[in-house]
Structure 1
Amino acid sequence: MSVVSQQRPQAGAASSRKPAPTAGLRGLGHPAILALVPALTLFCAFWLLPFARLVLMGAEVDRGSGVSAYLAILTHRQYLTSLAATLGISLVVSLAAVGIAGLAGFFLARHRFAGKSLLVASLTFPLAFPGVVVGFLVIMLGGRQGALAQLSLWLFDERWMFAYSLMGLFVGYLYFSIPRVITTVMAACDTLDRSLEEAARSLGASTWRVARDVIVPGIAPALLSTGAICFATSMGAFGTAFTLGTRMSILPLDIYGEFTNYANFSMAAALSVVLGVITWIALSVARKLAGGGLGAPA
């Protein structure tokens, strides 16, 4: 009897256990699966199939070199220079945007003053501008008839211009990258636990030590994500570069030139794949670092 009485609770406990939820699509009901159908259809029709076609087209023979377009990118100085210039300016723009707008976003999140809403609206206004308009604004600032040229002509009897170079492209990219960082950093600063800062100050930490050990790690995921977005946007931005001049050697303009001017579809496809893969890797690495507990409390 004692053995039976001891086994009954165990059997009851075992029977009361709930089955583990099934993973994957098997655990979803039919309505949930049907809800995924439109998204999967659009994904396959407008991204997966065209990108697969680009990959195959890029493996074809390049009209200019007679070898595979992917191999031509790695062996021709023109394309390597374009790739290096695109990577360099995108990286510099990302770092500059995170540094400048990160400080501005933190200041705006922590201080209240008259006209703050108007200032935030003005700083984020470039988000409403397409790339062509941004390029035109850079020309109005640093072009031949721009404000800087007129001022230098009046002061030094010579025109100073930067619009039609990588410097002008940097200014244009930075102009529409700063708003993306400011809004994200402001939202991240609002979620910081200020008690950690107060505790650090009570222990004798200086302002710079608090910023380095508490504030920056706390908003690091936001900085990484916005930096990656700025990098990806700068890598593929076309309107601003096209407005400032088609002679600059960067990947978006090279893709446009190979496709429209020379009908070199294999090279245009290969350059598009390279640009897309680099951007995807940057976003994936940033997402992994930002989601890996970076800046989270222990």
Structure 2
Amino acid sequence: MSDKRDNFLLAMLLAPALLVFCAFFLLPIGRLALAAGTGPDGLSAYAAILTNPRYRESLIATVLLSAGVTLATLVLCAVCGLFLERNRFPGRAVLIGIMTLPLSFPGVVVGFLVIMLAGRQGLIGDLTQALSGSKLVFAYSMAGLFLGYLYFSIPRVILTVMASAGKLDRRLEEAARSLGASTFAVTRDVILPGLLPALLSSGAICFATSMGAFGTAFTLATNIDVLPMVIYTEFTLHANIAMAAALSLILGLITWAVLALARTAAGSSVAAAG
């Protein structure tokens, strides 16, 4: 009787979570798959992602952009996060606050910031006009989108890196230095392996956020075909719901695969370090 009662209580506790999982995950994903497969092109809508040049190029551009943003963010935040965690100086709290400020900005605001910086009337354009006589404008290109994605990705990574850096055992570094290891060797063999789980997990989140970011792309995408914008135009301008659903599923599957791979790799890194 006790086992039956325990099983019943466990089932009752799991029921709300299962209900939420079905309502907010399984049903929407199932509806997307159904919409993509029952369109006028049937299951060939998925093949069109690879055969249609526009869809294929937008998918490749989105993956490459997200990977580039992730790599740049990890390098920048690994250096800055380690420095900020290990050094105390006047204005440190203000600097950390400034670097984490983009967390409070929606994507549209980030897009406007990029326009104010590198748009036709932006600061960079005015400076280059004064210095060279020609105005540099890149806000509405892939470079502008890269800058915007990098800006809102930094807070998501640097806080994780700082928290992980604070838990590193400094005695391991001191032992390596006492054995004659150089600063580069200590960084490569001691510090980076200790930060690796945090870098993998935060990098995966950065990649996933960049893959699905819409507000910044919507603000800047004058001549940019990234996957969220293609999905938006297929759904709103062309009423091609099946293609929009297929593209959404592919975007979600790529993001899920990267998150799952990072989770596995981060777990393996922790186990290897232990």
TM bucket (normalised to shorter chain) is: over 0.9
The answer as to 2:245 corresponding to 1:269 is yes
- 2:138 maps to which residue? 162
Cα 1:253–1:246 shift into 2, 3 Å: farther
CA–CA distance in structure 2, aligned partners of residues 295 and 119 of structure 1: 34
Mean Cα displacement is larger for which, 98-107 or 29-38?
29-38
Cα 1:294–1:62 shift into 2, 3 Å: farther
The answer as to 2:153 corresponding to 1:197 is no
Displacement of 1:51 after TM fit? 0.5
Cα 1:146–1:28 shift into 2, 3 Å: farther
Displacement of 1:296 after TM fit? 4.9
CA contact (8 A) 1:93 1:234 kept: yes
The letter for the 2-side match of 1:52 is: G
Cα 1:129–1:210 shift into 2, 3 Å: same
- 1:143 maps to which residue? 119
Q: How many residues align?
A: 272
Equivalent position to 1:35, from 13, 36, 42 = 13
Q: Please list the CA deviations of residues 144-169 of structure 1 after superposition, one character each: whole Å capped at 9, or x if unmatched.
A: 01111112222223221000000000
Displacement of 1:29 after TM fit? 4.9
- 2:100 maps to which residue? 124
Equivalent position to 2:38, from 55, 60, 69 = 60
Higher-Rg structure is 1
CA–CA distance in structure 1, aligned partners of residues 40 and 69 of structure 2: 32
The letter for the 1-side match of 2:144 is: G
- In structure 1, the gaps of 5 or more residues are 1-21
Cα 1:158–1:289 shift into 2, 3 Å: same
The letter for the 2-side match of 1:221 is: P
CA contact (8 A) 1:125 1:179 kept: yes
The answer as to 2:24 corresponding to 1:49 is no
More helix by percentage: 2
Cα 1:27–1:68 shift into 2, 3 Å: farther
The answer as to 2:256 corresponding to 1:280 is yes
CA–CA distance in structure 1, aligned partners of residues 148 and 188 of structure 2: 30
3-state SS of the aligned residue for 1:144?
Answer: coil
CA contact (8 A) 1:246 1:253 kept: no
Cα 1:77–1:28 shift into 2, 3 Å: farther
The letter for the 2-side match of 1:35 is: L
Displacement of 1:195 after TM fit? 1.1
| Percent of residue pairs identical | 57
Mean Cα displacement is larger for which, 271-280 or 191-200?
191-200
Q: TM-score, normalised by structure 2?
A: 0.94
- 2:192 maps to which residue? 216
CA–CA distance in structure 1, aligned partners of residues 109 and 136 of structure 2: 22
Displacement of 1:47 after TM fit? 1.6
- 1:206 maps to which residue? 182
The answer as to 2:55 corresponding to 1:108 is no
CA–CA distance in structure 2, aligned partners of residues 269 and 290 of structure 1: 31
The letter for the 1-side match of 2:35 is: M
Displacement of 1:68 after TM fit? 1.9
CA–CA distance in structure 2, aligned partners of residues 226 and 67 of structure 1: 35
Displacement of 1:32 after TM fit? 4.0
- 1:230 maps to which residue? 206
Cα 1:27–1:131 shift into 2, 3 Å: farther
Displacement of 1:53 after TM fit? 1.2
The answer as to 2:250 corresponding to 1:250 is no
CA contact (8 A) 2:193 2:273 kept: no
CA–CA distance in structure 1, aligned partners of residues 86 and 11 of structure 2: 44
Q: Please list the CA deviations of residues 120-147 of structure 1 after superposition, one character each: whole Å capped at 9, or x if unmatched.
A: 1111011110000000000000000111
3-state SS of the aligned residue for 2:224?
Answer: coil
CA contact (8 A) 1:61 1:68 kept: no
- 1:10 maps to which residue? none
